[in-house]
Amino acid sequence: MLQPLFAVEAGGATVPVTILLVALVGFGVAYFVVGPGKRKGPKRYGDIPLAMRPYHSDEELETTGMERAMAWGVALAVFASLFLPLYWLIEPDRIERAVDQFYEEDVAAGRAEYQNACASCHGVNLEGGSAPHPDPDVDTPWPAPALDNIVARYQDSEIVTDVQEFIILTLVHGRNGTPMQAFGVANGGTYSDNQLDQITAYILSVQTGELPQAQEFVGRSGEDVYENNCARCHGQQAEGWVGPQLLNVFERYGWTGEDDASLESARAAVRQVLYEGRNLVGNAPMPAFDQELTDDAIEAVIDHLQEIQQLDGPSFGQIGGDPVPGEEED
Ligand code: HEC
Ligand code: HEC
């Protein structure tokens, strides 16, 4: 509302500089036009010593002179009492606009950085894409998730509470063993924290809020579902890659190979991982599949895992480890 008065350029130093100039000019006027600097002519008192120069008469000093001094005092007091509240009123508004402008600059810089560094995999419009599998023997490309819906996708997530932080951490560390490399300087990337913040600000500024459609399951088997959604991380034969091998995952969750109760609780544990995903600090995340796969598809892939389970299987883990020879191959 008060902006035209000050014509402030947000973020600039226009306000303080204007105030300083006005104050200097005001002081100059006061000093030279009416104050002690007043001169009538260049050489008027040229040879009279300073203390002996004629000045106002006593009478003048006690009447008009004094009144003038008091008027100045009042004028300055009024100025101060108006200026301070006015400044106090304008300042928050100015700060807010400065913040807005910084934000817009960040988003613009982030957009350019995104187009350079990310668009080839995640799509020019953040619609998602893919990249070759880091293992040259695997032909199936690795899907790069759409980023224009990342907020919606993780909104009700059990494993991600702060999407902004999640994006930044993904950029800082990358995803070891996947095509998603680290971009932060700390992990061999070339992007400063500030640039990662800018890219993140850009991503968050273009959210569509739309959730992806779950994949069609009709006509597919649990093995297909595994092949399309799990093999890239857990290995073609479930031997493990970025994620742990799944050949004895039921056993790891308590299956004894005999009773139905332990089978059901192992299936339930696996089901929970599939619906909720897992994001432990320092580990690669296991994505949640509750949006991507239908309930039928999730049951089918659990059935498939059950078929390939081994008891006394290989131990947990081994990223990119040697494929485990096993009965699971058909
Ligand atoms: C070479 C291809 C490639 C490039 C370049 C790339 N990414 Fe990725 N990104 C991927 C893949 C593949 C994944 C999925 C990894 C996985 O399955 O865990 C991914 C995952 C992500 C995720 C996690 C998404 C989610 O839903 O969990 C974010 C966020 C992300 N990338 C942001 C970026 C940004 C920002 C850039 C640019 C600075 C970038 N990526 C550059 C391939 C790429
Ligand atoms: C982007 C890579 C990735 C994809 C795709 C993926 N997983 Fe995972 N998965 C992981 C990682 C990493 C872990 C280990 C997470 C942890 O424990 O911190 C994991 C853990 C698991 C676990 C728990 C293992 C255990 O011993 O606790 C199961 C079960 C599992 N995944 C099944 C699947 C199935 C089934 C699919 C396909 C529908 C799938 N995963 C797709 C990366 C992935």
In order along its 330 residues, the chain shows pLDDT tens digits of 444 444 444 445 677 788 889 989 988 888 887 776 666 555 567 778 878 877 778 888 888 888 888 999 999 999 999 999 999 999 999 999 999 999 999 999 999 999 999 999 999 999 999 999 998 988 889 999 999 999 999 999 988 999 999 999 999 999 988 999 999 998 999 999 999 999 999 999 999 999 888 888 988 999 999 999 999 999 999 999 999 999 999 999 999 988 899 999 999 999 999 999 998 877 888 999 999 999 999 999 999 999 999 987 555 544 444 444 433 333
- 285 Cα–ligand 2 center, Å: 8
Tokens 């106090």 sit at which residue? Answer: 88
Which residue type does 329 have?
E
The contacts found for 82-87 with CB under 8 angstroms, 24 or more apart, are 86/2
The contacts found for 263-270 with CB under 8 angstroms, 24 or more apart, are 263/306, 267/302, 267/306, 270/302, 270/305
Q: For the beta carbon of residue 210, count every other beta carbon within 10 angstroms.
A: 11
Protein residue with its CA nearest to atom 22 in ligand 2? 273
User: Nearest 5 degrees, angle CA 32-CA 37-CA 41?
Assistant: 90
**Alpha-carbon distance 196 to 299, whole Å?**
38
pLDDT value of position 1: 42
Pocket test for ligand 2, best of 133, 227, 233, 274 (most atoms within 8 A of CB): 233
Q: For the beta carbon of residue 241, count every other beta carbon within 10 angstroms.
A: 25
Ligand 2 site, residue 298, Cβ cutoff 6 A: no
pLDDT value of position 7: 46
Pocket test for ligand 2, best of 224, 278, 286 (most atoms within 8 A of CB): 286
Ligand 1 site, residue 288, Cβ cutoff 6 A: no
**Alpha-carbon distance 244 to 246, whole Å?**
6
Identify the burial level of 37 via C-beta atoms within 10 angstroms of its C-beta, where 0-12 means exposed, 13-18 middle and 19 or more buried: exposed
pLDDT value of position 8: 46
Ligand 1 site, residue 120, Cβ cutoff 6 A: yes
Asked if 229 and 290 touch (Cβ cutoff 8 Å), the reply is no
Protein residue with its CA nearest to atom 33 in ligand 2? 230
- 308 Cα–ligand 1 center, Å: 31
Buried b (16+ CB within 10 A) or exposed e, 195-206: bbbbbbbbbbee
pLDDT value of position 315: 57
The contacts found for 157-163 with CB under 8 angstroms, 24 or more apart, are 157/276, 157/277, 157/288, 158/276, 158/277, 158/288, 159/276, 159/277, 159/278, 159/279, 159/285, 159/288, 160/279, 163/204
In angstroms, the first-to-last Cα distance of the chain is 75
Q: Of 146, 142, 140, 148, whose CA–CA distance to 128 is shortest?
A: 146
Protein residue with its CA nearest to atom 7 in ligand 1? 180
In whole angstroms, how far apart are CA 95 and each of 10, 83, 99? 7, 18, 6
Protein residue with its CA nearest to atom 5 in ligand 2? 230
pLDDT value of position 44: 66
Pocket test for ligand 1, best of 115, 116, 122 (most atoms within 8 A of CB): 122
pLDDT value of position 324: 42
**Alpha-carbon distance 94 to 80, whole Å?**
20
**Alpha-carbon distance 65 to 60, whole Å?**
6
- 159 Cα–ligand 2 center, Å: 13
- 92 Cα–ligand 1 center, Å: 38
pLDDT value of position 39: 61
**Alpha-carbon distance 278 to 213, whole Å?**
21
- 327 Cα–ligand 2 center, Å: 21
pLDDT value of position 66: 86
Ligand 2 site, residue 204, Cβ cutoff 6 A: no
Asked if 206 and 148 touch (Cβ cutoff 8 Å), the reply is yes
- 294 Cα–ligand 1 center, Å: 24
